[in-house]
Structure 1
């Protein structure tokens, strides 16, 4: 059962500053970095799918495990972390300390999840799934560094950092996706565009702390779409689709910015007009950058993101939750819970508004927003008692 403590633990990454020993033109947060990392992991994984060792479940869950680990150790300088990792005894002690810090938070997810989390950091890094995540981690960190570089030309450790990144990146050039990134500017541009979602703040017309970006929000939606999916024991392909729909659901906002819901609903037909414009822009600026075998899947994630769907005889078909559970919960149908992703999107907005109020935001719009989201969800929760309990826990009400 997903509980309030886990939600707030994940949200801690929205407060965590990165590169805080460097001059930064903007705040750089851990939640954004981890979101960008998972976009890159998706890109690398798609090029590696012919490898029999590739396991998307391990990539997704490994990414979440690494996010949780990072939340505990905070912005530990890489040079220090790698020294610890090189010493098996010290590394084991650090892993145990992280586990002890997270055990109570993760316990409601079940014993199996706890065991997988603990084993993940004890096992070898030399498998394709972990190497994809590691390559994505290094690439996304280097992307951030290049953002800061013009402001840190005189940094004492500039040469050491750059040489370190180059050396670490070279370890992953045997991965097909890394080769493709090195060869093709279009692919690098796609990764750049995904990273630019961190520049767009949500609730941008209101003062609040923390200022979550569209990129961080997207990862939050993806992570909790995953948690709800494993709780319901969905098929692996269904879990994959739910996670990556959550991650990609706001991809069009690279091109359109974050159009708030009241604006979308202000004029009849406005929402449909915006949706049509988003599709046009995706065709022009995003799909043109990608190889053909990416496009239909990203179209599913970004254009019909809130629809329950399956693929049957090569065609996308909208279905009910009941049909998904009773008939289509099989990998061969490529099932996807768009309604669940929508509920996680609203849960993320609820948490953002809730945290803003908790941190002293005075605008009544935040309280109005989280009350409206809560009432809407509780009146018709797709995922029943679990989601109901979460919303009640945030307003200190007891579920009767």
Structure 2
């Protein structure tokens, strides 16, 4: 069961400000950093698997990213140098305190989520390679932010020390082929930069709202929600992988078109289809040249027709598969299943959360209240089942 507290913890990362003791030319939120980190982790892991097929346990990688986000949300007030010192000397005690804080929220989640969460932080032999990839991705994402921060903070005491520490950590992970590629190949670095730019694109850009969320952070929220829904469905490993990363990349074309709000898309007949056509053309021209050709089919599977239920078997993509068929006939890795309709539900729910939290905090323009009402009614009438759970239950938490 997906709990209200767990959803609140995830969304809390949108309110956590990074580098808030530095001059910041723009806001940096924890959810954006974590989203960028997971995109970088995907990139590193893909390169590692090209070199050594099967070397990455993708479920451990996905879960590790979620575990680290939740851990970060709980200990957010601790500055990194102090945090690392505490973890070195009192890591077991701090982790146990974190487990206690999250127990009610994560205990009901299916798939031994709580047990895996505890093992991830307590057992040094659990998912060591995936931890290393995530650690490398963490510092690369941090460095991406720091390159912006550094220009405005050269006068600060210890800024060079921070710079050297980040560079030292990146160098420590240089044995990973994926890290080498990101640092030395202009195209793949361009892909990482392009994804990072999505943190500058605000959701609901014309509507006052708190906390502000970017397209980048929104994609991670949708990805995490889709992971939990996949657990509810008892999804096979490949289905969980597809659902998570399709969600993580589903709005990637918006880096080329910006976040065009739904009312505008639907205001003129055929406009939504025209925008989609433009996104395909621009993605082919500007996104795909940045990544290895071997990845193209998977990325197309994720960002085109992203809200369609589909399978990818024997080099053929079949769309229009029903949820029942995905659950009963195609819930095997060999079919490469993807729950596009569920992804759409998670996407809508994330938008509902964005409106709900702002309204809760007292910023409630009519656009947000109307959106919240409309999305709620849509799923009240739909009766979408996710495993044993009616999806409306999640909406009812915040209605």
TM-score normalised to structure 1 length: 0.96
Distance in 1 between residues matched to 2:80 and 2:362, nearest whole Å:
34
Distance in 1 between residues matched to 2:92 and 2:213, nearest whole Å:
33
Distance in 2 between residues matched to 1:53 and 1:317, nearest whole Å:
29
Partner of residue 391, structure 2 = 387
C-alpha contact (below 8 Å) 1:2/1:386 kept by paired residues: no
The CA RMSD measured in Å over matched residues stands at 1.3
C-alpha contact (below 8 Å) 1:17/1:75 kept by paired residues: no
Partner of residue 342, structure 1 = 344
Aligned-pair CA distance for 1:51:
4.8
Alignment of 1:253-272 (within 5 A): 253-272=254-273
Distance in 2 between residues matched to 1:273 and 1:356, nearest whole Å:
32
Aligned with 2:86 (options 68, 84, 87): 84
Distance in 2 between residues matched to 1:386 and 1:173, nearest whole Å:
46
Aligned-pair CA distance for 1:75:
4.6
Distance in 2 between residues matched to 1:182 and 1:390, nearest whole Å:
41
Partner of residue 160, structure 1 = 161
How many residues get paired? 393
Alignment of 1:228-239 (within 5 A): 228-239=229-240
C-alpha contact (below 8 Å) 1:16/1:30 kept by paired residues: yes
Aligned-pair CA distance for 1:204:
0.5
Aligned-pair CA distance for 1:181:
1.2
Distance in 2 between residues matched to 1:205 and 1:111, nearest whole Å:
40
C-alpha contact (below 8 Å) 1:18/1:75 kept by paired residues: no
2:310 is paired with a residue of what secondary structure? Answer: strand
C-alpha contact (below 8 Å) 2:383/2:390 kept by paired residues: no
Alignment of 1:149-298 (within 5 A): 149-298=150-299
Gaps of 5+ in 1: 396-400
Distance in 2 between residues matched to 1:242 and 1:267, nearest whole Å:
31
1:109 is paired with a residue of what secondary structure? Answer: coil
Aligned-pair CA distance for 1:112:
2.0
Partner of residue 4, structure 2 = 4
Deviations along 1:38-84, whole A, 9 cap, x unmatched? 00011001011225441000000000000000000005322112212
Aligned-pair CA distance for 1:388:
1.7
Deviations along 1:292-344, whole A, 9 cap, x unmatched? 01111111111121010101221110111111111111100100000000000
Partner of residue 333, structure 1 = 335
Partner of residue 59, structure 2 = 57
Gaps of 5+ in 2: none
Bigger shift: residues 304-313 or 134-143: 304-313
Distance in 2 between residues matched to 1:180 and 1:352, nearest whole Å:
36
TM-score normalised to structure 2 length: 0.96
Say if 2:31 is the partner of 1:17: no
Distance in 2 between residues matched to 1:7 and 1:391, nearest whole Å:
11
Partner of residue 123, structure 1 = 123
